[in-house]
Structure 1
Amino acid sequence: MKKRLLACACALVTAALPGLAGCGVLPGDEDSGSRTVTVWLMKGSVSDDFLTRFTTAYEKEHPGVELDVTFQEWTGIGKKVTAALKSDDAPDVIEVGNTQVTQYAETGLLYDLTLESVRDLGYTEWLPGLAAPGKVDGAQYGIPWYAANRVVIYHKDLFARAGITRPPATREQWLRDTAKLDDGPGGTQGIYLAGQDWYTLAGFVWDEGGELAVERDGKWRGALDSPAALRGMAVYQELQALGDGPEDADEENPPQAQVFAGGDVAQIIAPPSVASAVVERNPALKDKLGFFPIPGKTAGEPCAVFTGGSDLIIPRKSDDRAAAMDVVAALAGEKWQKDLARTMNYVPNKPSLADAVGGQEATAAMAAGAARGRATPNSPQWADVEAANPIKPYMTAVLRGESPESAAKTASARITALLRTDR
């Protein structure tokens, strides 16, 4: 989609995320001597209004530069981006998932943006959950763009009925409050937490000082069997018991929004966007939902959370690296970070910019958690771990009474095998 009205019409017909779908520049469309910067963004990442504001302002501030933006679908994006990186007609800027940067960097077809990021973009302030996955072997290939993470969504009426007047500030208080909210089988659930919500487990593992996997001497191994990781699983087990979540399914089976919409669940752990799905199913809950960061072990320091979101990369075959970097710097800079956060309810790429969403309860809660955000292990093979996902059966085994130590050793061994580069 381009700034021109032509692009808006085309986007309605060819809206596709990562791929070559979208509107291109028509023959004779460019002014003589102008430069076109091609940008791939993911479908749903920005609104048409935001894109219009950005392209209009950017092109006004950069005479002779035209932005050609196409939206891509997430489905199949990996193959499309990899093919684009190899082609002689690569886009100049590509939005990718923050945990995808490593696999693209491994191709050797990305620009190392270390100097640019260090010089202009305040890299020391970036959210770790976005910055760390974009850095491979000391080189910064992905520039953090925006973040999203899980928070606690709670039913205000159920909290009030239980005499809880404010969200808990610490994990200990949270567990006590959740126990108070739980009426047992057939009554109010203190929390609905599916047994295989492994992203939430990861946060507890990190909060205890553990890891899902660790790298030593260039080799990765699973680490769920460490004492710290086992403590994280114990927290999950205690919390999950304060509701009726299934032990052998994740948060999408059934969708936790559907369960929460029933009205007898006090809390779920989810991105704030899930609240819209809840209200859609039960409009009576529209003004009864609240949000707070997942509590950590001490007041004022939320639990570590998995940070989802996007980074921006520049292919080595970009026709104009300098122009591409100018676009990235604008998108990742303070002005447009604040605009994007307010428009899309995202977390900006720096905690210092979180005041942009200070008046939005859900996004502010998300931003507080994002300050302690983490990403999955920065191995190109981690996608194989997620595909096979030995973490899920490990969690079910523990919740059903199997020895945590034994189940964790089995899961860690499987993770180690999947992360081997010589398979």
Structure 2
Amino acid sequence: MIARRHVLAAGAAGSAALALAACGGDSGGPGGTGSGGEVDGEGKTITMWLMEGTNASADTYIEELKAAFTEATGATLDVQVQPWEGAHDKFVTAMAGGTGPDVAEVGTTWVPEFADAGGLDVLTEDIEAAGLAEGLVQGLVDAGTLDGEMYGMPWYAGVRSILGNREMLEEAGVNAQPQNWDELLTMITTLEEHNPDWISFPVPGASIFSATPFIWGAGGEIAEEQGGTWSATVNSPEAVEGLTWYTDLALKHNSSTAAASTWVETEALAEFLQEKVPMFITGSWVPATIRADNPELAEKLVAFTIPAKDSPVAPSFLGGSLMCRFLETEEPELSFELIKMITTGDFATRWAEETNYFPGTIETMDEVVAGGDELTAVFAQQMTEGGKTVPVTPAWGKIEGAKTMSTLVGTILEGTSVQDAADTAAAEMDGFFSE
């Protein structure tokens, strides 16, 4: 696979410190192919990093994956589970020192940064040759694509929609899917009038992904690329309209508390679990958590798509992970065989079922939805019709680290004008884009 190799310096503009040494495979040469085009990995070992905590049944999954991989290729699979906390810096250190794996689970917002740094290998030709290019979840494809090349194979994703307590909603006479912002506001004000002690629709100030559907739903963008240069647009009239509408729910209605400017999603969930909140924005993975912790409340759950200004489905952040191959692996073919095994077929379906995330292929996702419930169908609709990623640029990791977006929402809730807060955020983003 000579075509897969790139001169590191060419892919690591501004990231010369990440000069990679060989990592991963221990066979000392490129992987060969056996009869029938299958990769022959006899006597070889490849290493995979898997993030901790997504799958409560990960131990069993890993052991069966290792056995299946050995049966299919003859190679040994060494799976090393890594905690999410500190994982970003561990990746960077590994890329710089040549101590990384052959294959790794990489969060969607990190892929552009690591690809730009020269740490990840292009998978475009491999995906196309394997007949996998069609039928992938587009939001994950977008997240893993930089400069027209795919650096990650979609694995799993989650999306945010509105989760409600059917009993509380019906008590107030609210039970229909909102078709636009006007109808959502009517739902919220009806709940507010019915019971002023309820937090009718929490607006957690430190949760950027509860706010982005309203920026995007008004036709705004966080940032846009033109001629290879990114610039912030979160202060555009459309983005400001969406931010204003969303934050007004807290500032002009009882969709908040005095502490909401610093709330994260888990705090909104805590209030929902106490049945003080009739509906809120949360992730597709949350209903399973509620079923495990509070089966009685789980029986009351209902879901709605987050509406856009003039339509029932707004773009909503599609986050998750892709399976990536490190550029300097000595076993590119074996590594891609592993990526295929994890992201398609039985192991992809099983991971989705065990984690309550959606798989990265439409075919597998359709199977999960068919076997799911009404909640699953609503979240799937939000994902397939509105799944959207943040700006695909290496600078996004710095913006995320600086908490630019969560600071934006929080300062509005604390009294700063929307335009001033958005202008400040845009200036900070443009500083990162220009580095």
TM-based fold match above 0.5:
yes
Q: Deviations over 1:1-24 (max 9, x none)?
A: xxxxxxxxxxxxxxxxxxxxxxx9
Question: Residue 268 of structure 2 aligns with which residue?
Answer: 256
Matched, 1:227 2:237: yes
Could you tell me which runs of 5 or more consecutive residues in structure 2 were left unpaired when the two chains were aligned.
1-24, 27-40
Q: 1:89-111 CA deviation, whole Å, 9 max, x = no partner?
A: 53111111011011111222321
Separation in 2, partners of 1:414, 1:49: 45
**Residues 265 and 282, structure 2, Cα contact 8 Å, conserved in 1:** no
Residue 37 of structure 1 aligns with an amino acid whose one-letter code is I
CA distance in structure 2 between the aligned counterparts of 1:309 and 1:140, rounded to whole angstroms:
16
- C-alpha distance in 2, partners of 1:347/1:253? 20
1:209 is displaced (CA, Å) by: 2.3
Give the aligned partner of residue 369 of structure 1. 382
Q: Distance in 2 between matches of 1:325 and 1:227?
A: 45
Aligned residue for 2:94?
84
One-letter amino acid matched to 2:69: Y
Would the alpha carbon gap of residues 220 and 43 (structure 1) be closer, same or farther in structure 2, given more than 3 Å must change?
same
1:132 aligns with 2:142: yes
* Conserved 8 A contact 2:46-2:78: yes
Which of 367, 378, 403 lines up with 1:389 in the alignment? Answer: 403
Distance (whole Å) between structure 1 residues aligned to residue 316 and residue 183 of structure 2 = 19
**Partner of residue 351, structure 1:** 362
Q: Are the equivalent residues in 1 in contact too, given 2:196–2:254 (CA < 8 A)?
A: no
1:39–1:93 contact (8 Å) kept in structure 2: yes
Answer yes or no: is the 8 Å Cα contact 1:185–1:244 preserved in 2. Answer: no
Deviates more, 1:305-314 or 1:181-190: 181-190
Contact 1:85 1:317 in 2 (8 A): no
Please tell me the residue identity of whatever aligns with 2:302. G
Q: Alignment partner of 2:319: what SS?
A: strand
Change (3 A) 1:41 1:140: same
**Matching residue's letter, 1:45:** T
| Structure 1: tracts of 5 or more residues without a match | 1-23, 26-31
SS at match of 1:55: helix
Aligned with 1:255: secondary structure?
A: helix
> Match of 1:190, SS?
coil
Alignment coverage as a number of residue pairs: 391
Over 3 Å counting, the alpha-carbon distance change for 1:123 and 1:172 in structure 2 is farther
Residue type of the alignment partner of 2:381: A
Seen in structure 2, the aligned counterparts of structure 1 residues 177 and 336 have a Cα distance that, compared at 3 Å, is: same
CA shift digits 1:369-398 (9 cap, x unpaired): 222212221222222222333333433454
Query: Matched residues in 1 for 2:266 and 2:344: separation?
Result: 39
Matched with 2:220 is 210
SS in structure 2 opposite 1:159? Answer: helix
Cα deviation per residue 1:221-258 (whole Å; 9 max; x = unaligned)? 22112122122213313444352244762432871122
Cα distance per residue 1:135-159 (max 9 Å; x no partner): 1112211111100121211111111
Root-mean-square deviation (CA, aligned residues, Å) is 2.9
Question: 1:279: how far off?
Answer: 6.9
Change (3 A) 1:237 1:37: same
1:297, distance to aligned residue in structure 2 (A): 4.7
Determine if contact 1:183/1:189 at 8 Å carries over to the other structure.
no
2:137 touches 2:361 (CA, 8 Å); kept in 1?
Answer: yes
After superposition, the Cα gap between the structure-2 partners of 1:210 and 1:243, relative to the gap in structure 1 and judged at 3 Å, is same
Secondary structure in structure 1 of the residue aligned to 2:143: coil
Tell me, in whole angstroms, the C-alpha distance in 1 between the residues paired with 2:54 and 2:265.
25
Per the alignment, residue 41 of structure 1 pairs with 50
Residue 73 of structure 1: how far off its partner (Å) = 1.0
Given that 1:50 and 1:343 are in contact with CA atoms closer than 8 Å, whether structure 2 keeps it comes out as: no
- CA shift, 1:403, in A, is 4.0
Kindly indicate whether residue 328 of structure 2 is the aligned counterpart of residue 314 of structure 1.
Answer: no
**For residue 199 of structure 1, what is the aligned residue in structure 2?**
209
What TM-score do the two structures reach when normalised by structure 1?
0.83
Cα shift readout 1:62-96 (whole Å, capped 9, x = no counterpart): 3x222211111112212222232344553111111
**1:52 matched to 2:63:** yes
Separation in 2, partners of 1:352, 1:162: 39
Secondary structure at 1:303's aligned position in 2? coil
Q: CA deviation at 1:191?
A: 1.2
Between the aligned partners of 2:217 and 2:395, the Cα distance in structure 1 is 24
Q: Which moved more, 1:208-217 or 1:91-100?
A: 208-217
CA deviation digits over 1:201-224, x for unaligned, max 9? 212212222211122333322211
**Counterpart position of 1:405:** 419
- Once the two structures are overlaid, the 10-residue window that deviates more, 326-335 or 143-152, is 326-335
1:340 aligns to what?
Answer: 351
Please list the CA deviations of residues 321-379 of structure 1 after superposition, one character each: whole Å capped at 9, or x if unmatched. 00001111121224332222122211111334322222244443322222221222122
Rate the CA distance shift 1:256–1:277 in 2: closer, same or farther, 3 A. farther
**1:292–1:356 distance in 2 versus 1, CA, 3 Å:** farther
Change (3 A) 1:248 1:345: closer
Q: 1:179 to 1:129 in 2, by over 3 A?
A: same
**TM-score w.r.t. structure 2 length?**
0.80
2:281 is aligned with 1:269 = yes
Cα distance in 1 for residues equivalent to 2:296 and 2:155: 35
How far does residue 112 in structure 1 lie from its aligned partner after superposition?
A: 1.2
